[in-house]
């Protein structure tokens, strides 16, 4: 009886983990991840390696389109805490970066040292999702930025391992350096196996959202 209960619990945990693991900023030990993010503020690419299950380090390249500044930085991320329940999982991450920012606009303000710190947290079941993310970026003469974003998501069905998973999500973000400081973006998230794709459109500051993640 005890082994049967344990087996059911492990199966439930495996199904939950498979349904939520795709968008993690830290992969399994020895894993590589490619992440592309495009939203109303920037287009960015990150390739990271996870030497342990709770830590990753990668190279980030980001184009801030509004002021035509390009940022290149080393980005470590630490999984501080992970919670497991019978039907939920929660995570809390700390991240940061250090590198250089270069002005590519006609202003030609040159280059400066850039650094950022951030936090990420999420809680989810197989059909419900809530997350929060914040980043504080300093680029010297090229400008300092802050960003806050919260997401709420719902899956119309609970997909099994290997199946296509679909989520309906709503993102609300706050960027003090934008004219429209607060914006709303509905989006769709799809993932299957090691690949994740998000497609959305910002209703406040009209612009597409296209995010892609692939784990090797």
Instruction: Say what the pLDDT of residue 209 is.
Output: 97
Instruction: Say what the pLDDT of residue 23 is.
Output: 63
CATH number, residue 67: 2.40.160.40
Which ranges in the chain belong to alpha helices (H)? 2-20
Instruction: Say what the pLDDT of residue 153 is.
Output: 98
Q: What is the DSSP string of 32-45?
A: EEEEEEE-SSEEEE
Q: What is the mean pLDDT of each run of 10 residues along the chain (216 residues)?
A: 42 45 80 96 97 97 95 98 93 98 90 97 96 97 95 95 94 95 98 96 96 95
Report d(CA 60, CA 49) in Å as an integer. 12
- Pull the structure tokens for residue 115: 């650094």
Q: Which domain holds residue 122?
A: 2-215
Instruction: Say what the pLDDT of residue 161 is.
Output: 84
Instruction: Say what the pLDDT of residue 11 is.
Output: 42
Domain count along the chain: 1
In a 10 Å sphere around its CB, with 0-12 CB exposed, 13-18 middle and 19+ buried, how is residue 63 labelled?
middle
Instruction: Say what the pLDDT of residue 7 is.
Output: 44
Global confidence as pTM: 0.87
Report d(CA 182, CA 172) in Å as an integer. 7
């Amino acid at each position: 009886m005890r082994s049967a209960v344990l087996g059911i619990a492990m199966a439930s945990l495996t199904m939950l983990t498979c349904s939520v693991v795709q968008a993690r900023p830290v992969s399994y030990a020895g894993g590589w991840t490619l992440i592309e993010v495009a939203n109303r503020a920037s287009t960015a690419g990150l390739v990271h390696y996870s030497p342990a299950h709770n830590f990753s380090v990668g190279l980030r390249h980001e184009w801030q389109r509004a002021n035509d500044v390009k940022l290149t930085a080393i980005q470590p991320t630490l999984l501080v805490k992970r919670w497991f329940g019978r039907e939920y999982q929660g995570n809390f991450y700390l991240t940061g970066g250090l590198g250089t920012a270069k002005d590519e606009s006609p202003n030609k303000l040159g280059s400066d040292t850039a650094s950022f710190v951030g936090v990420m947290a999420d809680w989810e079941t197989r059909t419900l999702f809530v997350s929060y993310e914040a980043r504080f970026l300093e680029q010297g003469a090229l400008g300092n930025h802050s960003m806050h974003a919260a997401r709420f998501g719902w899956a119309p069905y609970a997909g099994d391992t290997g199946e296509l998973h679909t989520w309906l999500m709503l993102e609300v973000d706050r960027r003090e350096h934008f004219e429209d400081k607060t914006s709303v973006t509905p989006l769709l998230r799809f993932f299957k196996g090691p690949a994740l794709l998000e497609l959305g459109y910002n209703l406040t500051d009209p612009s597409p959202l296209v995010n892609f993640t692939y784990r090797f």
